[in-house]
Structure 1
């Protein structure tokens, strides 16, 4: 029996009500020669997502479409896909995104990694025909502290975007450390998995080369989180802080991220109470949670002054915006 190709990739796509976009996502994955499997999990869709996915099959036998009878969230859907796949390398693709041609070639030139991520191009149009800027495939290691801090919003910039990175993961590392997505999370499930991997000693490499296209949509499911999703995310930070043997700088960064998410939660909870119970309900929440006052006040001021600030665009109306800076390849 021949040994499996150690560079064979399984692309996992968790999809809910993505019939309009999933054919492009699947086609971009099947186009890559290093992709041995594409596993789509229809996560309780109410449209024709599964049929649209099956219609994108290229006849190579690499596409598998699975369906969950009820929506369980992206973490559960991805775990389901991992359990039904075999390739040594795992790549995540969102159902409304796509790979640029040749994405994995630049990544697989590098060795000595457990996770490797490339640059992302944000766009408003799922056009796989538009080639991204050619950047040098320079590599650097991402530390645990850098990763955590890169997921915290900073004034004058978009919210922490390192969490948007879509690394290829070695199945052997995930299996060795019994790591899977936390199915209790419906927000930040990627952040949590990568964080726990880094705490376990994962070597996380980032290259400047751009191979992932992220389509910015106003109706994206990732932007429709609930207040309770924020609570579960900062509680996930607390759970990692409880890990024995954490370095002091990692603990400090985790506490900062926890506070960042908790502040967002407190503001959302205040607004939820105001919406459902009026001013009296909002003030009641403040009286019950006096520690939330600074976050609520800062959030209200930030929202009121949003129009006066120049916020960076998520993506330009035309062209591409890159997540990471890079050195362009010299044109011949």
Structure 2
């Protein structure tokens, strides 16, 4: 092994339509020594379509789970069954831009290394091989804990760009040294939780603004269909992170802010669920059960109602349509990429 060999892990469920492009983009990269697809109990022919995408190099393997266990379990299974010194996660409906790993491995001064993500609306994606990313500087920067946590707080009416969406290349040695794996209790924010825990334990998390990952934005994506309880589990994960003794007070303050942000979203969603299932009286009882419930619920409902009222009166713009192309992180354009 050369020391820069990568295992690409693709957790897939009902991804027969998109997984050939994902696999092809991984096998195209010279640094990729293994591509491990984990079919998470798909009800379509994801596994057979994935096997058919093999390029004959012997680098592709496909695992099948009989019971749907979620992306964390699938990724951990792939980590356990692979051997390369570096791990790279690829979602089954996304793809790598050509030359991605060459840029990330340009300097070996990191434990996690992520590049920019080009977000592409599904209806304009077309031929992935013809997509040209904007040319941004590849000058590196390093994320500290507070900046990472703050970078995962979404804002109303702002295009989402949380840093937890990043798909870094990860040092297996760092994960093993600190006993880190994906939290199998999470089906939302599992990337965020792993990155946060790693940075809290000293991981050097390098980011470059040049694009190397293409993410297809679909209205029916699995990541957009999380359950209300998934929000509660994510907020609880923040409480677990707060138990890390070595965290300075500034880092704990950032975590508490993120926990409140996610917990408030959970309380609002729970209120709406109770209203839909048991009626307004039960929902009101839930809201009035505590001030912690009441404030985010009133704030969230009021914001939605006011926004709808202002739009109806022509005093507010309509919700922004997802643009055909955008990037997760803004960057400095360059005439030529290094």
Q: Into which bin does the TM-score normalised by the smaller protein fall? A: over 0.9
Scaled by the length of structure 2, the TM-score of the pair is 0.93
Runs of 5+ unmatched residues, structure 2: none
Query: Which residue number in structure 1 is paired with residue 75 of structure 2?
Result: 78
Partners of 1:271 and 1:282 within 8 A in 2? yes
- After superposition, the C-alpha distances for 1:95-132 in whole angstroms (9 at most, x for unaligned) are 01011111111111022100000000000126232121
Tell me, in whole angstroms, the C-alpha distance in 2 between the residues paired with 1:110 and 1:286: 52
Q: Which residue of 2 aligns with 1:172?
A: 173
Residues 312 and 179 of structure 1, relative CA distance in 2, 3 Å threshold: farther
Q: Distance in 1 between matches of 2:47 and 2:176?
A: 29
1:123 corresponds in structure 2 to 120
Distance in 1 separating the partners of 2:281 and 2:224: 28
Paired residues for 1:86-235 under 5 Å: 86-124=83-121, 125=125, 127-235=128-236
CA contact under 8 A between 1:135 and 1:327: conserved in structure 2? yes
Structure 2 counterparts to residues 7-18 of structure 1, below 5 A? 7-18=4-15
- Does structure 2 retain, via aligned residues, the 8 Å contact 1:157–1:311? no
Deviates more, 1:39-48 or 1:127-136: 127-136
Q: Which residue does the alignment assign to 2:3?
A: 6
Query: Does the 8 A contact of 2:288 with 2:294 survive in 1?
Result: no
User: TM-score by structure 1 length?
Assistant: 0.95
Does 2:322 match 1:323?
no
Query: Could you list the per-position Cα deviations for residues 29-78 of structure 1 after superposition, in whole angstroms to 9, with x for gaps in the alignment?
Result: 00101100000000011111101111111110000000010100000000
Distance 1:255 1:309, change over 3 A: farther
**Does residue 36 of structure 2 align to residue 31 of structure 1?**
no
Indicate the residue corresponding to 2:303 in structure 1. Answer: 302
Q: CA deviation at 1:209?
A: 1.2
Whole-angstrom distance in 2 between the partners of 1:310 and 1:199? 40
C-alpha distance in structure 2 between counterparts of 1:164 and 1:102, whole Å: 20
Tell whether the 8 Å contact from 1:182 to 1:193 is kept in structure 2 after alignment: yes
Matches of 2:168 and 2:84, distance apart in 1: 15
Question: Deviations for 1:159-218, whole angstroms, at most 9, x for unmatched residues?
Answer: 452111100000000000000000000100000000000111000000011010000000
Q: How many angstroms apart in 1 are the aligned matches of 2:286 and 2:183?
A: 29
Deviation at 1:156, TM superposition (A): 4.4
C-alpha displacement of 1:283: 1.1
Structure 1 stretches lacking a partner, 5+ long: none
Q: Kindly provide the CA deviation profile for residues 3-25 of structure 1, in whole angstroms up to 9, marking residues without a partner as x.
A: x2210001000001111111110
Aligned length: 326
